[in-house]
Amino acid sequence: MNAPLPVEVLKQHLIDPEICIRCNTCEETCPVDAITHDSNNYVVDPEICNGCMACVPPCPTGSIDNWRLVVRAEAYSVQDQLGWEELPQEKPLPVDAAAGEEGGQTMPAPQAESGLAQTAAVTVAPPGAAVPPWSAAHPYVNLYTHKTPITATVVGNYRVTGADTESDIHHIVLDFGEQPFPVLEGQSIGILPPGVDAQGRPHHARQYSLASPRDGERAGYNNLSLTVKRVTQDHGGAAAHGVCSNYLCDLAKNDTVQVIGPFGHTFLMPNHPQANLIMICTGTGSAPMRAMTERSRRLIGTADIGKLMLFFGARTERELPYFGPLMKLPRDFIDINLALSREPGQPKRYVQDLIRERAAHVRGLLADRNTCIYVCGLKGMEVGVLDALRDVVVQSGEDWSILHDALRREGRLHFETY
């Protein structure tokens, strides 16, 4: 008598649509292009995913870390997943499959679980670390979700770029009153804009970095600030009306906002004495740098403060958010390097140019294991910044790939670009 054919069981990788904030990090990280999205959901193609886990650590919400045991022939298709509003419950497997890996075959086991993480399947190493610095405080994440958002009240909203410039960037302060919303510098929150999208579904959340330190925009208050750029053009330069950024920039004092989060467990600052920060940013990428700088400023006079070096890029001084307050900071507290690319009468300079100009200083800081590097701003800056850091290191006869690996492994090099 013929034995029944073994049923192939798949540990299917899925993304929870109720928690996902559509930040695109997973799609960018996936080394085999198994992740895709439409205007509704981010999804994983079961035909392509090899369970390598490369996408799991960078996800700021943990929505990526969902798995269902399914019969391979009945795996949820990309089309199924694109239509989901929530994850399906785990279904019981047929008896012959559930008999386990003896009768059926389980494919693919996530590599981290099977001890195979970092195998040849991961072809592209992410540029930054997937772990926080060793002395980072422990962050809270996902306290509030799409289903259970928290209401914050707007207590301030003003423009922080020159009124005569195209770049309309706002500093927005949200207060949480008596409700718990603990955060750390480098984390972000999600904002749920009111209304529905073209398909009649509620808008998905947009993510914004905190611009204030852990103890509040105003020290000791349960509030935080954001740095929001009004989107009036798409990435190609065509006219566009950004749903959430316009909503936020137009908020008035005492308006209320639906918030989810906090998010992010790696882009966090070190907390040990004498930790140094190299901060490299453009535009609204200055938000987490403002948070970290202000945290450090509030520690002046204690033993807990190391060196701060800032590379900040903008087109002109007047388009640089927080220019005035930044320039008032003591120079023995923070080493400020402004790269202006359209300042009349000045040569074009980008952050990577200044990193090279300050090579000796940067090299000195990089050689110190107490130094952490943070890069935030436009996606396109990643390559330029990495090239500049590599040049600085190579010039001194050192091997960049060894240092780069160490910076990632030790949670000392962090990117947040969008």
CB closer to ligand FAD out of 210 and 392? 210
**Which one of 50, 223, 245, 276 is in contact with ligand FAD (CB under 6 A)?**
245
Fill in the per-residue mask, 9 to 48: x = in contact with ligand FAD (CB under 6 A), - = not in contact.
Answer: --------------x-------------------------
166 interacts with ligand FAD by CB under 6 A: no
The yes or no reply on residue 235 touching ligand FAD (CB under 6 A) is: yes
- Percent helix, strand, coil in the chain, to 5, is 20, 25, 55
State which of residues 61, 63, 187, 207 lies at the interface with ligand FAD (CB under 6 A): 207
Give every CB contact of residue 318 below 8 A, 6+ residues apart in sequence: 161, 162, 164, 165
Residue nearest to ligand FAD (CB): 242
CB of residue 177 to ligand FAD, shortest distance in Å:
23
Question: Is residue 416 at the binding interface for ligand FAD, with CB under 6 A as the rule?
Answer: yes
Per rule CB under 6 A, is residue 231 in the interface with ligand FAD?
A: yes
Give the C-alpha separation, 298 to 221, whole Å.
14
Work out whether 250 is an interface residue with ligand FAD (CB under 6 A): no
Q: Does 185 bind ligand FAD (CB under 6 A)?
A: no
What are the φ/ψ torsions at residue 80 (nearest 5 degrees)? Answer: -55, -50
Between helix 381-395 and helix 359-366 the angle, nearest 10°, is: 90
Least distance to ligand FAD, CB of residue 287, Å: 4
Question: Which residue, 41 or 207, has its beta carbon nearer to ligand FAD?
Answer: 207
Q: Which of 146, 171, 206, 265 binds ligand FAD (CB under 6 A)?
A: 206
Gyration radius of the chain over CA positions:
23
Angle, alpha carbons 77-42-187 (nearest 5°): 150
240 binds ligand FAD (CB under 6 A): yes
Residue from 19, 183, 228, 291 in contact with ligand FAD (CB under 6 A): 228
User: Which residue type is seen at 260?
Assistant: I
Structure tokens at 130: 């997937």
Chosen residue from 42, 76, 144, 208 binding ligand FAD by CB under 6 A: 208
Residues 317-376 within binding reach of ligand FAD (CB under 6 A) = none
CA dihedral sign of residues 358, 362, 365, 371: positive
> Under a CB-based contact definition with an 8 Å cutoff, are residues 312 and 355 in contact?
no
Is the CB of residue 314 less than 8 Å from the CB of residue 282? Answer: yes
Establish if 128 lies at the interface with ligand FAD (CB under 6 A). Answer: no
Alpha helices (runs of H) in 207-342, residue ranges in sequence order: 243-249, 286-297, 323-327
Q: Of these, 227, 296, 337, 352, which contacts ligand FAD (CB under 6 A)?
A: 227
Interface with ligand FAD by CB under 6 A: which range of 62-70, 175-183, 237-245, 289-297? 237-245
Q: What is d(CA 167, CA 146) in angstroms, rounded to the nearest whole number?
A: 30
Query: How many residues bind to ligand FAD according to rule CB under 6 A?
Result: 22
Q: How far is the CB of 341 from ligand FAD (least distance, A)?
A: 16
The yes or no reply on residue 242 touching ligand FAD (CB under 6 A) is yes
**Per-residue tokens: 41:** 């959901």
Minimum CB distance to ligand FAD, residue 292 (Å): 13
**Minimal distance in Å, beta carbon 314 to ligand FAD?**
14
Residues near 200 by Cβ (< 8 Å), separated by ≥ 6?
Answer: none
Nearest approach, Cβ of residue 395 and ligand FAD (Å) = 32
Instruction: List Cβ neighbours of 120 (8 Å cut-off, separation of 6 or more).
Output: none
Question: Is 234 near ligand FAD (CB under 6 A)?
Answer: yes
* Least Cβ distance, residue 22 to ligand FAD (angstroms): 8
Please state whether beta strands 334-340 and 256-263 pair in parallel, antiparallel, or not at all (unpaired). Answer: unpaired
The SS3 of residue 111 is coil
d(CA 325, CA 177): 27
- Estimate to the nearest angstrom the gap between the alpha carbon of 281 and the chain centroid: 13
**Which residues of this chain interact with ligand FAD, rule CB under 6 A?**
23, 188, 206-209, 227-229, 231, 233-235, 240, 242-245, 284, 287, 416, 418
